[in-house]
């Protein structure tokens, strides 16, 4: 078989060597100057930043999705800025208990964390996160329990299902007094004078 598959006029050894080194050099330059900054956000020479090529690296394509009808489960908006509170709630020994309550309208939302600061056994603490309507003498009120559990800490978010009082009933079952630190952020009013003065 004659030169089937290759050029009939092969270049000299010297030319081939030049072609190889030249090709490799050109390819490497292109890699370092152009490809690396754009494709891998790696810009060792600063050439990508100098030429603005690196902006390509940040470009991402987006598909816009429609918000579901109403969209209220995704985003809620309020007229006033949110508030934050950190409250230390002292509880007496031997089933000392207390309710910490917030005033919220329907759709108001919060995030919260609480924990008992020093407790030997988390089994010795009981809490009930619940809400009820404004008490009206002579009428039957409504109450809803969001979570009832044993344990010395809880974190969560909450959207008030109705207007009323929402909060935590906390019960210390240890033989010593404890302090619960409650942190809240969101849209609510605190009900004043809840923590007994020491």
Partner 1 sequence: MFTARRNWGLALFALFAALCAIAPDVAAHGIAGKDADFVANAEGIHIFPYLYLGAKHMVTGYDHLLFLLGVIFFLYRLSHVALYVTLFSIGHSLTLLFGVIGGVYVDSYLVDAIIGLSVVYKAFDNLGGFKTVFGFEPNTKMAVLAFGLAHGFGLATKVQALDPSQNGLMTNIISFNVGVEIGQLLALSLILSFMLWWRSTSGFARYAVATNIAILVAGFLLTEYQLAGYFLQPGI
Q: How far is the CB of 60 from partner 1 (least distance, A)?
A: 10
Strands lying side by side in the sheet with 153-159: 83-91, 178-186, 109-116, 153-159
Tell me whether residue 52 or residue 138 sits nearer to partner 1 (CB atom): 52
Q: Which residues bind partner 1 (CB under 8 A)?
A: 3-13, 15-20, 22-24, 26-28, 30-31, 34-36, 38-40, 42, 56
Output the smallest distance, CB 9 to partner 1, in A: 7
Which residue lies nearer to partner 1 by CB, 28 or 157?
28
CB of 67 to partner 1, least distance (A): 21
Cβ proximity to partner 1: between 34 and 169 the closer is 34
Whichever of 33 and 165 has its CB closer to partner 1, that residue is: 33
Dist. CA 81–CA 84, nearest whole Å = 10
CA distance 189 to 192: 9
Residue 41 beta carbon to partner 1: minimum distance, rounded to whole angstroms: 8
């Amino acid at each position: 078989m004659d030169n089937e598959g290759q050029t009939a006029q092969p270049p000299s050894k010297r030319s081939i060597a030049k072609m190889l080194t030249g090709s490799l050099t050109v390819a490497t330059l292109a890699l370092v100057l152009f490809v690396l900054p754009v494709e891998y956000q790696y810009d060792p020479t600063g050439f990508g930043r100098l030429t603005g090529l690196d902006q390509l690296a940040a470009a991402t394509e987006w598909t816009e999705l429609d918000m579901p009808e109403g969209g209220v489960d995704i985003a809620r908006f309020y007229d006033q800025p949110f508030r934050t509170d950190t409250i230390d709630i002292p509880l007496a020994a031997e089933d000392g208990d207390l309710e910490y309550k917030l005033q919220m309208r329907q759709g108001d939302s919060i995030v919260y964390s609480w924990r008992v600061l020093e407790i030997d056994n988390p089994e010795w603490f009981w809490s009930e996160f619940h809400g009820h309507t404004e008490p009206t003498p002579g009428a039957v009120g409504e109450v809803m329990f969001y979570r009832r559990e044993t344990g010395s800490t809880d974190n969560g978010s909450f959207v008030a299902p109705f207007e009323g009082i929402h909060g935590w009933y906390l019960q210390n079952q240890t033989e010593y007094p404890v302090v619960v630190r409650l942190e809240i952020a969101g849209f609510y009013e605190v009900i004043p004078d809840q923590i007994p003065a020491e």
